């Protein structure tokens, strides 16, 4: 494995190490396709995840394999790339080596693109009661909890307890929270309604709690209001200025008010991964690295950071944590590495906003593209087409389209499996990482 040895010979092919095969890292690797470099892309999973559809796995609409593709397969035909399954634990800037547990990997250029993790704003003890949605394991866990709540309600004879089992609280009125709330409502109303004998899944109460004044606050007021109307039509009860002060196995505390609910899902906060804390560079409160205009780290010109793990101000405002930002950043870094090798000056990064959208449910969405504002069915079609188009790999694109067409016409969900050897509703204990708080688009408390 020559690419794993520190470089000793004179004038070798420069080695670019990319940590993370999300949208940013993968785009950078692909943009270096024809560059005279060796690329090693390191990820702690073996797959690239199409994160915008993760909520569909959580809500049993799609299978994990529909929205994920092995990184090795995606990059199979790119000869200058090696893929490594490993977790980066730190960087030795002095020796230009990435630490992968006990292994070391030498680099000439390093691109950090490790993305974000769920943030509980300093309340990591909430995690076990209110899982977030960041990877496939999270999605399968949320799917398990939601389906188990309906199953437990079917067996429950105490009406009060049954009501709690059929109460679903989603915390955070950003895109993730809105998607989750909308799709729980649809799952209950269209999919499960026919399958239960004792309970009426349509009687399920879905509550979306937002700490700020409105949901989807990054959109224009009219689109945000349209989203609110569409959610309400689906049966979701939206509460704004709802400050969550506590979460436990019985439900959510809002100041003096208690909302009893068996299922709470956290869609509120994002923070940078633990790696950033080990870098000894300046970060914001959410642990995001503050990068230079060319996306390099201060005083480390050969090390770049992109995507959700970075704080980049443009026109005085931080760029949002969305995939187009990460992808454009990845392209910029790839271009600048090639300019370095030709001894040309680097180009500063400038984000081009091509629009934004949020989906609410079947035939329900909002979109803002250039001067065009869409709502409802047209916005949903636009969202659907774009997401299928960008899904990696023909097979996945086809499978997703088929699954969607199938559930659209039959109101059936193909991936309604409860897996994971847990029959009880008791919360799962997870390893809780050190949290860093985030100030940003999702305000909760």
For a copy of itself, give the closer residue by CB, 372 or 405: 405
Considering beta carbons, is residue 112 or 191 the nearer one to a copy of itself? 191
Q: Which of 53, 208, 399, 400 binds a copy of itself (CB under 8 A)?
A: 399
For residue 313, what are its two tokens?
Answer: 């101000």
Binding of a copy of itself by 398 (CB under 8 A)? yes
Q: Is 179 a catalytic residue?
A: yes
Q: Which is nearer to a copy of itself, 65 or 233 (CB)?
A: 65
CA distance 109 to 339: 13
Residues binding a copy of itself: what is the number (CB under 8 A)?
54
104-143 positions binding a copy of itself, by CB under 8 A = 136-137, 140
Which of these ranges, 85-93, 257-265, 323-331, 433-441, lies near a copy of itself under the rule CB under 8 A?
85-93
**Interacting stretch for a copy of itself, rule CB under 8 A, among 164-172, 242-250, 314-322, 408-416?**
408-416
Question: C-beta of 237: minimal distance to a copy of itself in Å?
Answer: 26
Q: Using the rule CB under 8 A, is 418 a contact of a copy of itself? A: yes
Site for a copy of itself in 190-219 (CB under 8 A): 194-198
State which of positions 22-81 bind a copy of itself (CB under 8 A). Answer: 44-47, 63-66, 68, 70, 72-73, 76
Nearer to a copy of itself, 27 or 396 (CB): 396
Q: Does 353 bind a copy of itself (CB under 8 A)?
A: no
Return the closest-CA partner of residue 81 out of 12, 23, 21: 21
> Could you tell me the smallest distance in angstroms from the CB atom of residue 66 to a copy of itself?
8
Among 33, 414, 425, 433, binds a copy of itself (CB under 8 A): 414
154 binds a copy of itself (CB under 8 A): yes
- Environment class of 34 (CB within 10 Å of its CB; exposed 0-12, middle 13-18, buried 19+): exposed
Q: Which of 95, 103, 232, 348 binds a copy of itself (CB under 8 A)?
A: 103
Minimum distance of a copy of itself from residue 181's CB (angstroms): 23
| Choice among 127, 179, 186, 441 that is catalytic | 179
Query: Which residues between 156 and 175 bind a copy of itself (CB under 8 A)?
Result: 157
Nearer to a copy of itself, 92 or 195 (CB): 195
Of 251, 252, 156, 249, the C-alpha closest to 210 is: 252
Distances (CA, A) of 98 to 68, 83, 240, 311: 26, 15, 44, 22
* Residues 404/239, Cβ–Cβ less than 8 Å: no
Residue number, 117 or 368, with CB nearest to a copy of itself: 117
146 is an interface residue for a copy of itself by CB under 8 A: no
Report the nearest approach of a copy of itself to the CB of residue 260 (Å).
21
Least separation in angstroms between CB 433 and a copy of itself: 12
Minimum Å gap between C-beta 133 and a copy of itself is: 15
Residues engaged in binding a copy of itself (CB under 8 A): 1, 4, 44-47, 63-66, 68, 70, 72-73, 76, 82-87, 103, 136-137, 140, 147-148, 151-152, 154-155, 157, 194-198, 395-396, 398-399, 402, 406, 410, 412, 414-421, 423
Which of the residues are catalytic?
179
């Amino acid at each position: 494995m020559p690419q794993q040895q520190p470089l000793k010979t004179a004038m070798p092919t420069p080695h670019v190490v990319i940590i993370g095969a999300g949208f940013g890292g993968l785009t950078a690797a692909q943009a270096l396709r024809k560059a005279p470099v060796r690329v090693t892309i390191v990820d702690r999973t073996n797959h690239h995840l199409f994160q915008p559809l993760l909520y569909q796995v959580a809500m049993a609409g799609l299978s994990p394999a529909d929205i994920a593709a092995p990184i090795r397969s995606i990059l199979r035909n790119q000869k200058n790339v090696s893929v490594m399954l490993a977790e980066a634990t730190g960087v030795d800037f002095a020796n230009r080596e990435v630490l992968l547990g006990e292994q070391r990997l030498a680099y000439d250029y390093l691109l950090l693109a490790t993305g974000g993790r769920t943030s509980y704003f300093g309340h990591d003890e909430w995690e076990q009661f209110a899982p977030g949605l960041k990877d496939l394991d999270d999605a399968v866990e949320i799917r398990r909890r939601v389906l188990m709540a309906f199953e437990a309600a079917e067996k429950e004879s105490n009406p009060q307890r049954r009501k709690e089992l059929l109460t679903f609280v989603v915390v955070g009125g950003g895109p993730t929270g809105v998607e989750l709330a909308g799709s729980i409502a649809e799952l209950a109303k269209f999919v499960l309604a026919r399958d239960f004998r004792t309970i009426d899944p349509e009687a399920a109460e879905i509550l979306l709690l937002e700490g700020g004044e409105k949901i989807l606050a990054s959109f224009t007021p009219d689109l945000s209001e349209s989203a609110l109307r569409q959610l309400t039509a689906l049966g979701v009860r939206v509460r704004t200025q709802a400050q969550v002060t506590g979460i436990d196995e019985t439900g959510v505390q809002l100041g003096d008010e208690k909302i009893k609910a068996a299922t709470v899902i956290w869609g509120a906060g994002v923070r940078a991964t633990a790696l950033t804390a080990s870098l000894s560079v300046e970060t914001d409160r959410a642990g995001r690295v503050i990068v230079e205009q060319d996306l390099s780290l201060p005083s480390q010109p050969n090390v770049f950071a992109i995507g959700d793990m970075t704080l980049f101000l443009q026109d005085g405002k931080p760029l949002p944590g969305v995939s187009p930002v990460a992808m454009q950043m990845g392209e910029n870094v790839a271009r600048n590495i090639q300019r370095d090798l030709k001894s040309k000056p680097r180009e500063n990064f400038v984000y081009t906003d091509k629009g934004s959208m949020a989906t609410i449910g079947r035939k329900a969405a909002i979109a803002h593209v250039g001067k065009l504002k869409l709502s409802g069915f047209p916005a949903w079609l636009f969202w659907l087409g774009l997401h299928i188009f960008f899904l990696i790999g023909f097979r996945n694109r086809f499978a997703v389209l088929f699954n969607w067409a199938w559930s659209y016409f039959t109101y059936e969900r193909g991936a309604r499996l409860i897996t994971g050897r847990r029959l009880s509703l008791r919360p799962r204990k997870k390893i809780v990482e050190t949290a860093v708080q985030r100030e940003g688009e999702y305000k909760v408390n």
